[in-house]
Chain A
Amino acid sequence: MSKFDPRSKLIFVIAVSSLGVFIKDLYLLSSVTVIGIAAAQFMSADLLKAVRKLKSLFVMILVVAFLQSIFIHEGRILLEIIDIPLITSAGLEKGIEFLLRMTVIITTATIITTSTSREMIQGLVQLKVPYEIAFLVSLGIRFLPMLTEEMKDSFTALRLRGVVFKNLSLKKKIRVFTYLFLPIIAGTIKKAEKIALSMETKGFRTKSHRTSYLILKYSGADYFLIAFSIILLLIFICANYKLN
């Protein structure tokens, strides 16, 4: 089921994540979240892997959602301590709203990962995005995990230099973190230089017109997905407009 054209997937992801950002009504947002998760599941996106990878982000989202529910003092009081309203119905609603928005964006983004980077570049090129920019986007996505690894390695190497991080004052901790930037930036620049050099040696953009062995073609399912995305977008925008 993952063999949709990357362009139709991209259109679906843009439509659903845009709804996730703009819709204000909680019930509509819940429906969009369900559609996003169902579509990701249908297109064989590895949701569990995404959840594992984004675990730290999810914790942050939950914290923000919890803070929103605490600091918005509107609506019915649900929890109070010594006459101080701690959680109100409006606050809880805002917290859930934030959680749903982030879930929509994260789950639909996993749909993109069901296409290979080559397919995605070709999809962008056939959508008339200049090849250089399409290639840069794909390269950037692949660079992120490398950057995370680089950060982990540098932090380990820094601690092995005899820095017991947990014993340091906040001022010294901040200073130690400034030392991490140099190897990470230097490493990243060197990697970028190497990639640029290997691209040059492989003749990247030596000819103005680039032909491609891989040519993407829309199937019936793709037309259905694009039409579904547009109809979904229109229905939810109208419903949101009417409810507000």
Chain B
Amino acid sequence: MSTIAYINVEKMSFSYQKSQFSLNDIDLELYKNEITALVGDNGSGKTTLGKILTGILKPCKGNIFINGENISKLDLGEIGKKVGYLFQNPEKQIFATSVYEDVSFPLEINGIEPNEIKDRTDSILAALEIDHLKDKYPFNLSHGEKQRVALAGIMIHKAEYLILDEPTTALDSERKELLGSMLKNLNAQGTGILIISHDEKFISKYCSRVIRMKKEGGIINE
């Protein structure tokens, strides 16, 4: 385990306004050299924690640091370049009328040179085996394909950490294998990964660390 955590959660508490649910005094360190699984029962707060780690939800108490920077001081766009977040429903992350445009447009918006945009987009589409779909309309693809398009979209900034919410739900065993080996490769190249999942088989095969959410709003490191 590397000594410096990429994501550091310190005494973080969170509760929804109109709900009994809360996360209490969570301390957590996530490292770039690990593929970590976040598991727990339905309603235990896995997705909530994932959303807090990427700044989508704001904690009521405590601090979260990404690579030493407090995320309360960062814009969501800046967080997105460091930590990619894959939603449970990939359709929420698809914005353009072709796969190629959907993956590449954030680079264009950020003023990256056209040659670099092409190189980066082509390589990410090839790595995820969706290069043959680049001219297709993303909303007509299968769920698994949409998921890979969304994944390509969040990986295009070369984020140093990925948080994937239930990435295996709509994948057949062959696609799960492909996703698993791709995540292993990414992790070997230095990208930290947190997988929020119920898929015990996938977790035991690909994750080196498991964090379990407790019903009463805490976590257990395993």
Q: Are B109 and A168 touching (Cβ within 8 A)? A: yes
Q: Are B75 and A166 touching (Cβ within 8 A)? A: yes
Q: Are A162 and B81 touching (Cβ within 8 A)? A: yes
Q: Is B48 an interface residue (CB 8 A)?
A: no
Question: CA A182 – CA B96 in complex, angstroms?
Answer: 7
Q: Are A179 and B75 touching (Cβ within 8 A)? A: no
* CB-contact partner of B80 in A153, A159, A166, under 8 A: A159
Question: Which residue of chain B lies nearest to A172 when distances are taken between CB atoms in the complex?
Answer: B109
Q: Is B216 an interface residue (CB 8 A)?
A: no
Question: Least Cβ distance of B121 to chain A in Å?
Answer: 13
Chain B residue numbers with a CB within 8 Å of A163 are 77, 80, 106, 109-110
- The 0/1 profile, CB within 8 Å of A marked 1, for residues 68-97 of chain B is 000000011111110011010001111111
* CB-contact partner of A179 in B92, B105, B110, under 8 A: B105
- Interface size band for B: 20 to 34
Q: A161-B106, A161-B153 are in contact. Are A179 and B95 (CB under 8 A)?
A: yes
Query: How many residue-residue contacts, CB under 8 A, span A and B?
Result: 74
Q: Is B157 an interface residue (CB 8 A)?
A: yes
Q: Are B80 and A161 touching (Cβ within 8 A)? A: yes
Question: CA A162 – CA B157 in complex, angstroms?
Answer: 7
Question: CA A182 – CA B105 in complex, angstroms?
Answer: 14
Question: Which residue of chain B lies nearest to A155 when distances are taken between CB atoms in the complex?
Answer: B76
- Interface size band for A: 20 to 34
Question: Which residue of chain A lies nearest to B84 when distances are taken between CB atoms in the complex?
Answer: A160
Chain A residue numbers with a CB within 8 Å of B91 are 183, 186-187, 190
Question: CA A163 – CA B110 in complex, angstroms?
Answer: 7
* CB-contact partner of B77 in A160, A172, A179, under 8 A: A160
Question: Which residue of chain B lies nearest to A150 when distances are taken between CB atoms in the complex?
Answer: B92
Q: Are A183 and B77 touching (Cβ within 8 A)? A: no
* CB-contact partner of A160 in B79, B109, B139, under 8 A: B79
Chain A residue numbers with a CB within 8 Å of B92 are 153-154, 157, 183, 187
Q: Is B13 an interface residue (CB 8 A)?
A: no
Q: Is A175 an interface residue (CB 8 A)?
A: yes
Question: CA A218 – CA B74 in complex, angstroms?
Answer: 58
- The 0/1 profile, CB within 8 Å of B marked 1, for residues 161-202 of chain A is 111111110001001100110110011001000000000000
Question: Least Cβ distance of B152 to chain A in Å?
Answer: 11
Q: Is A158 an interface residue (CB 8 A)?
A: yes
Chain B residue numbers with a CB within 8 Å of A179 are 95-96, 105
Query: Which residue of B80, B81, B94, B157 has the most chain A CB atoms within 10 A of its CB atom?
Result: B80
Q: Is A156 an interface residue (CB 8 A)?
A: yes
Q: Are B87 and A157 touching (Cβ within 8 A)? A: yes
Question: CA A156 – CA B79 in complex, angstroms?
Answer: 11
Q: Is B193 an interface residue (CB 8 A)?
A: no
Q: Is B141 an interface residue (CB 8 A)?
A: no
Question: Least Cβ distance of A174 to chain B in Å?
Answer: 11
Question: CA A164 – CA B81 in complex, angstroms?
Answer: 10
A contact residues vs B (CB 8 Å cutoff): 153-154, 156-168, 172, 175-176, 179-180, 182-183, 186-187, 190
B contact residues vs A (CB 8 Å cutoff): 54, 56, 75-81, 84-85, 87, 91-97, 105-106, 109-110, 139, 153-154, 156-157
21 A-B pairs in the complex with CB atoms less than 8 angstroms apart: A156-B56, A156-B76, A159-B75, A159-B77, A159-B80, A160-B54, A160-B80, A160-B93, A160-B154, A161-B153, A162-B80, A162-B106, A163-B106, A164-B75, A164-B77, A168-B109, A176-B109, A179-B96, A182-B94, A182-B95, A186-B139
| Closest 3 pairs (CB-CB, A-B) | A164-B77, A159-B76, A160-B80
